[in-house]
Amino acid sequence: MDLLDTLTDKGLRRELPTREEALAVLATTDDELLDVVAAAGRVRRQWFGRRVKLNYLVNLKSGLCPEDCSYCSQRLGSKAEILKYTWLKPDQAAEAAAAGVAGGAKRVCLVASGRGPTDRDIDRVADTIAAIKGADEQVEVCACLGLLSDNQAERLKAAGADAYNHNLNTSESTYGDITTTHTYADRVDTVAKAHGAGLSACSGLIAGMGESDEDLVDVVFALRELDPDSVPVNFLIPFEGTPLAEEWNLTPQRCLRILAMVRFVCPDIEVRIAGGREVHLRSMQPLGLHIANSIFLGDYLTSEGQAGQADLDMIKDAGFEVEGAEQTTLPRHRATASAGGCGGGASVCGSSDSACDGDSGCGGHKDASACGPCGGPSTEEGSEDEARTDLVRVRRRGAGTELAPNA
């Protein structure tokens, strides 16, 4: 098909597609789906081979957030029955991180709910980074703490952080529909602060909040303009007790088209499948690996993922390999440009619970329940019948509990 040939050629040349071409990917039919995955897979293999980067979330502080992000289980007024606890001590966080690293994770994402960190919070996180890197200096650390004030990004960089995650989540025109306690511009400013401090910037989106195709293309093009090293793609987890609990708008096919569109717009950027992977892609998760080159291992911030060993088995069975600590994530041209920030251009984590982002990872927690009545829900036939509410499981193990983590 001419569209896919054009997009593949552009991706191999690192050339930005047009908005019309990006929209056309989302409009492809189920009969064309495997062709779409194959085309995006060619671009993925050009820049990332068959490597899959594993990231591991540590929820440093869970729940009780003063922000009102509609998709987030930790939001102000949330009735979701999630774990709630204050800051983990550095040794507790380091112990949780070690479990993820032992399972194959190359990056640890440190996430804390809230509007943004205080200076004392930055000190806490600095101590946690020291504890984690004291045990393994090769581990990449990404912080996801919410909106940053002046000089806080520089302090995190000095403390040893490699990256900072803060997601845009949805288009600027619809942002006010999902959050009223901060603005889209606030988020853009925090990503700019991370960039300015020499941190590898990670910023992504949440799909499935009722947004239109145009909204999805708008936010992905905005992300491309911000030029992050990694883009986490979260799929809304509709948590009971949140305003978006009834937003079941995604099918596995829709998720794959969204991932492909992101890959064509961001051909040489780390694309991470973040929150909602197990809930919405389900048995088609391995196809997602042909498009994205990064996932979270094990559980998310407030929800459970599939078993860590199942993640590893899936990667192996699909013919991919786990990226090692000695390997550089980004292509040479991006790694060189990012060397001042993330040591080898390591990519960042992404979630949708971050500082009230959802639950997919840092800044887009691995539970990402997205928001956004910005357009009609998906009209794909059968989407309502395929809702798997039974797959939404609140995390009851790992950080903040007495049970072993899932990694």
Kindly report the number of other CB atoms within 10 A of residue 2's CB atom: 6
Local confidence band at 376 (pLDDT 50, 70, 90 cut-offs):
very low
Q: Does 328 score more than 80 pLDDT? A: yes
- Find the mean pLDDT for residues 376-401: 60
Going by DSSP bridges, is the β-strand pair 200-202/205-207 parallel, antiparallel, or unpaired? unpaired
What are the structural domain ranges in the chain?
Answer: 2-391
Calculate what percentage of the chain has a pLDDT beyond 70: 85
pLDDT of residue 80: 66
Q: How many helices (H) and strands (E) does the chain have?
A: 12, 10
Kindly report the number of other CB atoms within 10 A of residue 107's CB atom: 35
Local confidence band at 393 (pLDDT 50, 70, 90 cut-offs):
low
Q: Which residue among 44, 51, 107, 109 is the active-site one?
A: 109
pLDDT of residue 68: 82
Local confidence band at 78 (pLDDT 50, 70, 90 cut-offs):
low
Q: Does 118 score more than 80 pLDDT? A: yes
Local confidence band at 82 (pLDDT 50, 70, 90 cut-offs):
confident
Instruction: List the Cα angle 304/323/52 in 5-degree steps.
Output: 55
Least confident of 100-104, 113-117, 238-242: 238-242
Q: Does 355 score more than 90 pLDDT? A: no
CA atoms within 13 A on the CB side of 121: 23
Q: What is the DSSP string of 299-337?
A: --SSB--S-HHHHHHHHHHTT-EEPPTTS-SS-HHHHHH
Instruction: List the Cα angle 101/106/110 in 5-degree steps.
Output: 75
Local confidence band at 385 (pLDDT 50, 70, 90 cut-offs):
low
Structure tokens at 123: 């000190």
Kindly report the number of other CB atoms within 10 A of residue 85's CB atom: 14
Local confidence band at 397 (pLDDT 50, 70, 90 cut-offs):
low
Query: Is 72 annotated as catalytic?
Result: yes
Q: Does 216 score more than 80 pLDDT? A: yes
Are 370 and 71 within 8 A, CB to CB? yes
pLDDT of residue 370: 33
Structure tokens at 328: 């550089």
pLDDT of residue 145: 96
pLDDT of residue 396: 66
pLDDT of residue 335: 83
Query: Is 257 annotated as catalytic?
Result: no
Query: Torsion angle, CA of 168/22/315/339, rounded to 10 degrees?
Result: -60
Least confident of 21-25, 110-114, 357-361, 398-402: 357-361
- In angstroms, the first-to-last Cα distance of the chain is 41
Rounded CA separation 129/12 (Å): 37
Name the residue with higher pLDDT: 386 or 201.
201
Q: What are phi and psi of 186, to 5 degrees?
A: -60, -40
pLDDT of residue 338: 67
Query: Is 266 annotated as catalytic?
Result: no
Local confidence band at 114 (pLDDT 50, 70, 90 cut-offs):
confident
Name the residue with higher pLDDT: 346 or 157.
157
How far from the centroid of its chain's Cα atoms is residue 265's Cα? 16
Q: What is the DSSP string of 25-56?
A: HHT--GGGHHHHHHHHHHHHHHHHTTEEEEEE
Q: Does 30 score more than 50 pLDDT? A: yes
Are 191 and 363 within 8 A, CB to CB? no
Rounded CA separation 192/170 (Å): 17
List Cα–Cα distances, 130 to 123, 141, 149, 336, in angstroms: 11, 10, 22, 26
Q: Which residue among 51, 69, 255, 263 is the active-site one?
A: 69
* Maximum mean pLDDT: which of 298-302, 341-345, 360-364, 377-381: 298-302
pLDDT of residue 83: 74
Rounded CA separation 142/111 (Å): 9
How far from the centroid of its chain's Cα atoms is residue 144's Cα? 11
Q: Which residues pair with residue 51 across a beta bridge?
A: 321
- Find the mean pLDDT for residues 339-352: 40
pLDDT of residue 386: 59
Are 322 and 143 within 8 A, CB to CB? no
pLDDT of residue 371: 31
Evaluate the CA torsion angle 396, 256, 44, 228 in order and state its sign: negative
Q: Does 352 score more than 90 pLDDT? A: no
Q: Which residue among 44, 107, 124, 142 is the active-site one?
A: 142
Q: Which residue among 51, 124, 263, 272 is the active-site one?
A: 272
Give the type of residue at 341.
Answer: G
Local confidence band at 65 (pLDDT 50, 70, 90 cut-offs):
confident
Give the model confidence (pLDDT) of 241-295 as tens digits.
Answer: 888 888 999 999 999 999 999 999 999 999 999 999 999 999 999 999 999 999 9
Q: Which residue among 144, 202, 255, 374 is the active-site one?
A: 202
**Whole-structure pTM value:** 0.86
Q: Which residue among 44, 51, 65, 342 is the active-site one?
A: 65
What is the DSSP-derived secondary structure letter of residue 375?
S
Are 174 and 215 within 8 A, CB to CB? yes
Calculate what percentage of the chain has a pLDDT beyond 90: 68
Q: Does 365 score more than 60 pLDDT? A: no
Name the residue with higher pLDDT: 407 or 376.
407
The position carrying tokens 């619809």 is: 174
- Find the mean pLDDT for residues 154-165: 98
CATH superfamily of domain region 2-391 = Aldolase class I (3.20.20.70)
The closest alpha carbon to 265, from 241, 243, 233, belongs to 233
Strands (E), 82-227: 107-112, 140-144, 163-165, 200-202, 205-207
Q: Does 361 score more than 50 pLDDT? A: no
Are 343 and 333 within 8 A, CB to CB? no
